[in-house]
Amino acid sequence: MNIQSDNKNSIGSADITATNNTKYIKLAATIALVGNAMLSAMMLIAGISFSSTALVGAGIDSASDVLIGIVTLFVVGFLSKPADQKHPWGHRRAETIATAFLSFFIFLPGAQLIIESVSHLISNEIEPVKLSSAAIVVTVISIVGKLLLAYSQFALGKRANSAIIKANAKNMAGDVLTSIGVLLGFVITHLTGTTYADPIVAALIGLWIIKNAIGIFSDANIELMDGNSNLKSYRVIVDAVDAVEGASNPHRARMRNISGFWDISFDINVNPRFSVAEAHAIAHQVELEIKERLENVYDIMIHIEPYGDDTDEAFGLSESEINDGDVE
């Protein structure tokens, strides 16, 4: 017996939350786009002017962040579209797809930067960096600018519970280290007079960019595969069932995240002598208990089974698996 509790209010509140989240995503994307465009132009011009491969690399990295901002603003239009017959869960997966797609655009400039830097080191064709106070000022400005941008993205990404904004926040936090690396390369060049510091720093920046790209793709891939990186969330189901008299043995539990919203499905056992109305009331109470413990719930499907039904389960997690610590 499948019993889905009254979810009209749940979905309605989810739609309101989604609308509010969309506003924060749009704001975060706009801030990132404008801020990174300014920083990218400044670093690219300075990097070319002072013959700094590392500074050019940092500028290219910021240019990829501009692309993220543009695509994010484009994706916002899909997020606000209501569910339809072809997309009964709505269109919020567009954000996850865009996040995975953008990881490749972050990866490519990182790989190119490594290839170019290693090529210069092997061929020993390294143009000396033209150190000046202007180059240092540009680098310091980029550090401060990236710190401010990272902070804004973390704050807005948390408020909107947005995967793409959170990913961009991590990327910009890494960009702070990138700019610090450029500054460190300048210091080493000034103190030692070597020409190798700049391409080495540039190669390290490329590796950092690639690391961020792989991390962003990995997180997006978990969601696209209907996985769950926050497996401790399954404790919410067990605790909710334990809190409701007449409900027991949560099993075949599945939790997936759809761009910041939870879609939950699981089975529970009830007394076989209960009426449909009584079983429905129990399922509805379990649903309310889950919502008390977990934010941004889009939908909950509860399947009712009578005590003693030991049908083999082909998928999902059982209460014993959760309680035994297999889910951590």
Q: What is the CA radius of gyration of the chain?
A: 25
Domain identity same for 157 and 258: no
Domain boundary, last residue among 177, 205, 224: 224
Whether residues 42 and 188 fall in one domain: yes
Q: Considering 224, 246, 268, which residue would you say is the last residue of a domain?
A: 224
pLDDT at 175 over 90: no
According to the model, what pLDDT value does residue 73 have? 83
Q: 118-122, 228-232, 248-252: lowest mean pLDDT where? A: 228-232
Range 72-77 contact pairs with CB under 8 angstroms and sequence separation of 24 or more: 72/25, 72/28, 72/29, 72/32, 72/98, 72/164, 72/165, 72/168, 73/26, 73/29, 73/30, 73/33, 74/98, 75/164, 76/22, 76/25, 76/26, 76/29
Quick one: tokens of 274? 């209960």
Is the pTM here over 0.75, yes or no? Answer: no
User: In the predicted model, is pLDDT for residue 108 greater than 70?
Assistant: yes
Please state the rounded mean pLDDT for residues 38-64.
Answer: 83
Do 246 and 218 sit in the same domain of this protein? no
Please identify, among 224, 247, 269, the residue that sits at the C-terminal boundary of a domain. 224
- Residue 328, domain member (yes or no): no
**Nearest-5° Cα angle at 59, 137 to 66:** 120
Are residues 196 and 102 both part of a single domain?
yes
Residue 174 lies in a domain: yes
- For residues 151 and 133, the model is more confident at 151
Question: What tens digit of pLDDT does each residue of 259-298 get?
Answer: 778 889 999 999 999 999 999 999 999 999 999 988 888 8
- Sheet architecture: strand order including 261-270: 2-3, 297-306, 261-270, 248-258
Count of domains observed in the chain: 2
CATH number at residue 256: 3.30.70.1350
pLDDT over 70 for what percent of the chain? 87
Contact status, residue 99 vs residue 163, Cβ threshold 8 Å: yes
Q: Note down the domain range covering 284.
A: 231-323
Based on the domain organization, do 181 and 307 belong to the same domain? Answer: no
Phi, psi for residue 261 in degrees, rounded to 5 = -120, 145
Q: What's the rounded Cα separation, in Å, for the pair 142 and 60?
A: 13
In a domain, 6, yes or no: no
- Beta carbons within 10 angstroms of residue 122's beta carbon: 8
Domain of 23, CATH number, reads 1.20.1510.10
Instruction: Identify whether the C-beta of residue 303 lies closer than 8 Å to the C-beta of residue 267.
Output: yes
Residue 1 lies in a domain: no
Please tell me whether residues 61 and 126 are part of one structural domain.
yes
Helices 197-224 and 163-192, interaxial angle, to 10°? 170
The answer to whether residue 3 is domain-embedded is no
5 in any annotated domain: no
